[in-house]
Amino acid sequence: MITFKLNGKTVQGEEGQYILQVAEKYGVDIPTLCNHKALEPAGMCRVCTVEVFDGRRTRFVTSCNYPIWEGMEVNTETELVREGRKLIVELLLARCPEVPAIQKLAKKYGITEIRFHKEADTCILCGLCTRVCEKMGARAISLTGRGVDMKVDTPYHLNTDACFGCGACASLCPTGHITLEKINREFTTRTLQLIPSEYDMGLRGRKPIYVPYAQAVPNIPAIDRDVCMHFKAGGCQICKEFCGVNAIDHSMQDEFIELEVGAIVLAPGFKPYDPSRLDFYGYHRLPNVVTSMQYERILSASGPFGGHLVRPSDHKEPKKIAWFQCVGSRDQNRCKNSYCSSVCCMYAIKEAVISKEHAGKDLDCAIFFMDMRTPGKEFEKFYNDARDRHGVRFIRSRVHTVDPAPDGHSLAIRYVMENGETVSEIFDMIVLSIGLETPPEMIELAGRLGVELTPGNFCRTDAFHPVNTSKEGVFVCGAFQGPKDIPQSVIDASAAAAAAQELLAGARGTMARTKEVVPEINIAGERPRIGVFVCKCGTNIAGVVDVPAVRDYAAGLPYVEYAADNLYTCSQDTQETMTQIIREKNLNRVVVAACTPKTHEPLFQETLINAGLNKYLFEMTNIRNQDSWVHKNNPRLATDKAKDLVRMAVAKVALMEPLKEIELPVNHTTMVIGGGISGMAAAKSFALQGFETHLVEKSDRLGGQALNLYHTATGEGVQEKLCEMIKSVESDKKIHLHLNTTITAVEGFVGNFKTTLSSNGNQEVLEHGAVILATGAAPYVPDEYAYGKDPRILTSLELDKKFIANDPMICNLKSAIFIQCVGSREPQRPYCSRVCCTHSIENALELKKRNPDMNIYILYRDIRTYGEKEYLYKQAREKGVIFIRYSVDNKPRLEIRKEGLAVTVTDHVLGRPIEILTDLVTLATAVVPYKDEALANFFKVSMNDDGFFIEKHAKLGPSEFSTDGVYLCGMAHYPKPIDESIAQAKAAVSRAVTLLSKASIFSSGTIAQVDPTKCAGCGVCVAICPFSAPSIIDKGRFAGKAEINPVLCKGCGLCEASCRSGAIHLKGFDTDQIFSQIFELNAAM
């Protein structure tokens, strides 16, 4: 350590440091233009000149490269120094009068006029560029020439491939002399470009060392070997020098790891379609034509424009945006993807609505589409709202031309309206709703794995085994199984896990390791002895917050026995030291002031456990993410804030109590309610995984609605497979069938239900740990289209029955009409029934197969053959099935005549009513839920307006309820075909098994508890809790008071906040604890 004087003050620095480095550490500002901390100093610009006194005389030296020595005296701001610097700056300014950085310095030194000959250069020959180029290992540029001719240049003034175009020179250049354009023009033979950020879809660049996105898991930076200069040129390694924990090792190699596994799940996802293959949309050529994925990033608060809706070319807010649907989907001519990508209609509507929410009602959003496909749960409502409430325009047309508008930014499009009229319109931005496709690498991998693919290159599965690939033991989920949205992908994922578990149930838990338990110290009755650990996080915190001051401040707070600072509190060795200190000093409460508890609380709690303390005797306060990182220009206030935060945390932790996590055993028997396809699939999956299962069915036979179905969308015969399924369920020893049975009472909660079954007047009480509701739905019985008045008017299921029975009637028909959306997408039943379009087309094809000469008409509103079901639609058109679209305000009319059924429909192309005489009318009727309120009440689950059960989370929790231990599948959730029902059945089982695979469950420690002596029994908590945790005690000493089931409580605190009596305590966030923080808001005066 070297001690010397800096501007009269005694300072210290390390041997080998330069004056400038030490001055920086002590906050003494010395100007410099040619210094960079990653490079050796060169003393080129001379601006950093200071005065050094060695005891005898003063000298002027450049502080950047003058090493410190014991006893020296440095002055950085004497009159002479200022004068000297002023002259240097004036000379620089004369050379480069237009450079802002030098102008700024000139202003600082009071230079008003230049006394020297002015030049028009921009380079001050500081050599930062050439030094960094050398450091990179490229050595492409150097200072060439001598005297007045000296300049930065490449050898022989030729563009060279030695320049990799890394841009380091440009980013370090203090004057702006070197630009990316200059590199392209004069230095390199390569094409220089930003490294496109994958996450932002190339809308902005990223660095060679990067975290893909802010929430990435693991949230650890990686080096992109393809662009890192060290790997390209061998130099650099600056990152290694600056990493405080020596985490960077450029010599790491790829490893091949061999794993022995019992099953494989393929979840490779999809690749968004690249529309640059479709030249006429102008993607890549026209900057304001973006893909929907890019548009998602534009809308995102963390996106390239910070969430402000602007277009890429000029960053102006658009007034008109158009979405083009089916780009790369449903298109065999211009790309090979003839399937429907399933998700684009919905995301386009969502993007349009969000855009309007961002930019206001005046933003014009127009969606150009072929069929609007919103067959998902709550989707139709969203579509209707977008149109009627938000004013999104829906235009049924395919745009054929996109041209740049005269202003060079906007886009002129032309399209043909339904009535044949051509319309020209100018939009500020166009969003291409690109489809989903399987990436080539995956097609190749599938080949290697021996997994069969469909014509659309998705993984081939069958309806009764929706997550099984053609190769045994290999399962599939997500968009590789077929284009699908989030809920369906999540369902598939759980289902694939269940399918794998069916195979591997025997091995469950065999590879688990148990941890040694440190006995917990009883701290009851002890006064708080608090340890405070303040983290420097390298320089992340200490660079801004005065950590020693915070530590000393903490040491003086009430009950604090010990306070320390650590370089990295989270490091392994600090954890061990902490454990020791807790033991040595008998600490019984711990505060860590560091980063965020969201990532690090569990780690420190673990340390407490290892030291024998209850893990809730801990409080963490955030002086990094929420202090040093965000107030770096205000160290004083940041330090004040850190002290406040530490004081608040200390006050709170003093009141923390050891909390118990209550353990409850889990009953491993399960119950499935509903004996249809979904219920049977669930029961079977449970049984295969080794769980005793009660299957409850209210009717006298298994099978449900599937008993009426003829074929699946892929042409598999349903009855045969259904029979097999029923047999396998009936013969399974682990499945206990309860036919003709209803539920009359339910008690208990997750892991411990008691359900009363009633069958022919006999009651039986069963205990089970989990339950799946698979109660299904029923077909709508229409009162429109003269249904029931003529045997030639059928519902889709009735037609199926005739197919199953091989009814001769259907072979003698000359013509048939299908009417879609009977009872669906209407004001009284606004949802789409999802299955009917495919069903009718499938049946139309079946009729055609039996009698190719038959005239078949399908009267529809939108054809919704999502995914690869689109092939059926195409096939039907090829086979001559005629599709006529009608509108909901002008429905077809049906008249029963002697000679046949006369259907009048207004054709959308002709715009005129036409009458068709037919022998058969099939009504594609809605799927109607049972709306079983009693059942919903039994299990404390809720239903939506349509009568379908409401899942825990529409996207991420589609197969479970918010009530723990209760799961959901099949048509009780939403109408769906067999494959999706079976997938969801397995998904529900999979979710249930996460519970059932445990011997017992633990409540969290941070839960609410009622103090019955204060409780008024008003029941607000019961009404307000979203998780049904509180209830009113009905007998005993505290009858009429509330109690909270610790297992169901999620610790949200809603009940506490609504309790007027103050009878509820939320442990870990209790009122007195929060009050203590509030009271410590301002330091005691």
| Residues found near other proteins in the complex (CB under 8 A) | 214-215, 300-302, 306-307, 596-598, 622, 624-627, 629-634, 637-638, 640-641, 644-645, 648, 1006, 1013-1020, 1023-1024, 1026, 1032, 1040, 1051-1054, 1056-1058, 1060-1063, 1066, 1069, 1071-1072, 1074-1079, 1081-1082, 1085
Rounded to the nearest 5°, which phi and psi values hold at 922? -110, 125
Minimum gap (Å) between residue 1061 Cβ and other proteins: 4
Work out the number of other CB atoms within 10 angstroms of the CB of residue 842. 23
Nearer Cβ to other proteins (60/213): 213
**Residue that has been written with the tokens 């009426």 in this structure:** 708
Residue 230 and residue 161: Cα distance in Å, rounded? 16
Nearer Cβ to other proteins (171/193): 171
Nearer Cβ to other proteins (619/800): 619
* Residues 6+ away with beta carbon under 8 Å from 1052: 1026, 1027
Nearer Cβ to other proteins (71/1062): 1062
Minimum gap (Å) between residue 1063 Cβ and other proteins: 8
- Omega before residue 218 within 30° of 0, cis: yes
Minimum gap (Å) between residue 824 Cβ and other proteins: 24
Q: Is-contact 862 887, C-beta < 8 A?
A: no
Nearer Cβ to other proteins (31/1053): 1053
Nearer Cβ to other proteins (10/1013): 1013
Minimum gap (Å) between residue 454 Cβ and other proteins: 35
Q: Which two tokens stand for residue 327?
A: 């780009």
Nearer Cβ to other proteins (252/301): 301
Nearer Cβ to other proteins (110/306): 306
User: Of the candidates 994, 995, 990, which has an alpha carbon nearest to the alpha carbon of residue 495?
Assistant: 990
Minimum gap (Å) between residue 962 Cβ and other proteins: 12
Output the DSSP codes for 949-1010: BPPSBTTTBTTB-SSTTEEE-GGGTS---HHHHHHHHHHHHHHHHHHHTSSEEE--SS-EEE
Sign of the torsion angle spanned by Cα atoms 55, 58, 64, 65: negative
Angle at CA of residue 945, ends 939 and 948, nearest 5°: 50
Angle at CA of residue 778, ends 776 and 780, nearest 5°: 150
Q: At what angle do helices 547-555 and 635-654 cross, to 10 degrees?
A: 30
Nearer Cβ to other proteins (302/571): 302
Minimum gap (Å) between residue 306 Cβ and other proteins: 5
Minimum gap (Å) between residue 603 Cβ and other proteins: 15
Minimum gap (Å) between residue 201 Cβ and other proteins: 17
Q: Is-contact 402 289, C-beta < 8 A?
A: yes
Cα 95 to the chain's mean position, in Å?
53
Nearer Cβ to other proteins (622/865): 622
Which stretches does DSSP call E strand in 118-247?
Answer: 142-144, 151-153, 209-210, 222-223
Minimum gap (Å) between residue 1038 Cβ and other proteins: 12
Rounded to the nearest 5°, which phi and psi values hold at 1047? -75, -35
Q: Which two tokens stand for residue 456?
A: 């659309």
Minimum gap (Å) between residue 1051 Cβ and other proteins: 5
Minimum gap (Å) between residue 1017 Cβ and other proteins: 5
Residue 612 and residue 518: Cα distance in Å, rounded? 6
Nearer Cβ to other proteins (392/1054): 1054
Nearer Cβ to other proteins (172/1059): 1059
Q: How many residues does the chain have?
A: 1085
Element spanning 50, H or E: strand 49-53
Minimum gap (Å) between residue 661 Cβ and other proteins: 16
Minimum gap (Å) between residue 653 Cβ and other proteins: 13
Work out the number of other CB atoms within 10 angstroms of the CB of residue 417. 11
C-alpha distance from residue 606 to each of 6, 367, 697 (Å): 46, 53, 47
Minimum gap (Å) between residue 683 Cβ and other proteins: 34
Element spanning 26, H or E: none
Residue 947 and residue 676: Cα distance in Å, rounded? 18
Output the DSSP codes for 758-789: EETTEEEEEEESEEEE---EEE----STTTTS
Nearer Cβ to other proteins (358/874): 358
Residue 613 and residue 588: Cα distance in Å, rounded? 7
Nearer Cβ to other proteins (684/952): 952
Residue 945 and residue 834: Cα distance in Å, rounded? 17
Nearer Cβ to other proteins (214/511): 214
Minimum gap (Å) between residue 195 Cβ and other proteins: 19
